[in-house]
Amino acid sequence: MAEAEAKVLPEATVARLTHYLRALNALEAQGLERTSSGVLAKEAGVNPAILRKDLSWLGSYGTRGVGYVVRELAEHINNTLGLNRDWRVLILGAGNLGRALSGYAGFAIRGFKVQAILDVDPAMIGSRVGQLQVEDSRDLASVVEREEINIAVLAVPGQAAQDLIYELSDLGVNSVLSFAPKPLVVPRGMNVRRVDLSTELQILAYLAVQS
Amino acid sequence: MAEAEAKVLPEATVARLTHYLRALNALEAQGLERTSSGVLAKEAGVNPAILRKDLSWLGSYGTRGVGYVVRELAEHINNTLGLNRDWRVLILGAGNLGRALSGYAGFAIRGFKVQAILDVDPAMIGSRVGQLQVEDSRDLASVVEREEINIAVLAVPGQAAQDLIYELSDLGVNSVLSFAPKPLVVPRGMNVRRVDLSTELQILAYLAVQS
DNA sequence: GGCTGTGAACTCATTCACAGCT
DNA sequence: AGCTGTGAATGAGTTCACAGCC
């Protein structure tokens, strides 16, 4: 029953949809009511053909010869991405990164709310981070239940991240954003996205050497 | 002369090479001198076939029937990625994220050194961040020269990031890691990698809805 | 005439499967 | 016999190019 279903949209398409959303918001802020794949693609930094192909996954929301209605299209993408409801986020790890993430403007996107932040370090527990107070990692289960957490962010070292993935899975938190430098073994049914800063820097080093 | 040359390795391969490096270090720490594509692939979280294909780009460093010498292979990947020298990093933006990044353990990878951190906000300038003092963004050119910066990290809002890209390009800093939520227009010859936290969260929301 | 929606062509990346060396 | 290195097969993702509708 609670089995993970097949993904409907290619992941690359989903990533671009978020860019179209931002672009549509920018156009709306400029007072535009209608737009075309050319204009929108430019604003989103992609090529118009793939934009149209991406949108075609959602159905026909444009008008041939005319274009798209900005607000209508934005609304439709919002619904498709599941952004028409609230997501309650838990941050694990109250070090530099965890603290920064809990305050980071990018997390203040409509619909995402950081509900709690946990750490294992007794010296850290109880300290303030923005509106929140750092809680004890050992209370993970009760915090998840109390705050009805949907999404966890792992800002902890590699091995701790791997251990937490299993705990979170058991607690029914199936969506995780991990900053651990190590690729994690992911339990069935769980969705994990990784942001790997050290890999990004190393890729830049390689590219710099090439040029 | 200073034209960017064609990339030699596929970008996906470069990204995985960094994982092999980490995996090799882990194996070496366990005291292993030799390994095989199967063992290494498992540690790195990839399939053995693509690991061998990736390594074949670097030449033949394994022995058929035997495997790879851990230290030798690690050294070779290091050289290929340009990690056998120092990279001097500048952080632009001393907000939550910029400060966290300058202290983040992931940045302490051998060879990457944060040399300076800048901000536009007068209230921020002069404050301490770890070993560093926040300097004035208007001094960008002189800081880049003084610290011989190779890599810049953009931890500033969208439009500021776009403006800075051009300035950095003019100053000869051709490698940039951007945390701005907006895809940037990249001047010729410049290498930009993006980390987009809001996109990652939105993708997680989508995946959560699917499952 | 203009712009969408989409099949077909193409490019890029991964996996398979096996020849070749030790 | 065992494990690498790699051509061939497959799959995923992007771009092209145009038919179809306004």
Helix, strand, coil percentages for chain A (3-state, nearest 5): 45, 20, 35
For domain B11-81, the CATH architecture is Orthogonal Bundle (1.10)
The verdict on a CB contact (< 8 Å) between A204 and B176 is yes
Give pLDDT tens digits for B12-71: 999 999 999 999 999 999 999 999 999 999 999 999 999 999 999 998 899 999 999 999
Q: What does the mean pLDDT of chain B come to?
A: 92
- Across B95-116, average pLDDT: 84
Burial of A30 (0-12, 13-18, 19+ CB in 10 A): exposed
Q: Which nucleotide is nearest to B46 (CA to C1')?
A: C14
Burial of B15 (0-12, 13-18, 19+ CB in 10 A): middle
- Distance from residue A67's CA to nucleotide C4's C1', rounded to whole Å: 7
pLDDT number for residue B108: 65
Q: Judge whether A11-81 and A87-200 match in fold.
A: no
Architecture in CATH of A87-200:
3-Layer(aba) Sandwich (3.40)
Q: Which residues contact B157 (CB under 8 A, 6 or more apart)?
A: A105, B180
pLDDT digits (tens, 9 = 90+) for B155-175: 998 889 999 999 999 999 999
Cβ of residue B66 near strand D, that is under 7 Å?
A: yes
Q: With residue A57 as reference, give the H or E element that holds it.
A: none
CA A29 to C1' C14, whole Å: 42
pLDDT value at position A109?
Answer: 76
Residue nearest to nucleotide C7 (CA to C1'): A53
Query: Domain locations in chain A?
Result: 11-81, 87-200
C1' nearest to CA of A15: which nucleotide? D13
- Determine whether the interchain pair A198/B99 forms a contact, defined as Cβ–Cβ distance below 8 Å: no
Give phi and psi for A62, each to the nearest 5: -110, 175
Flag whether B78 is marked binding: no
d(CA A139, CA A158) in angstroms, rounded, equals: 20
User: What's the pLDDT score for residue A106?
Assistant: 53
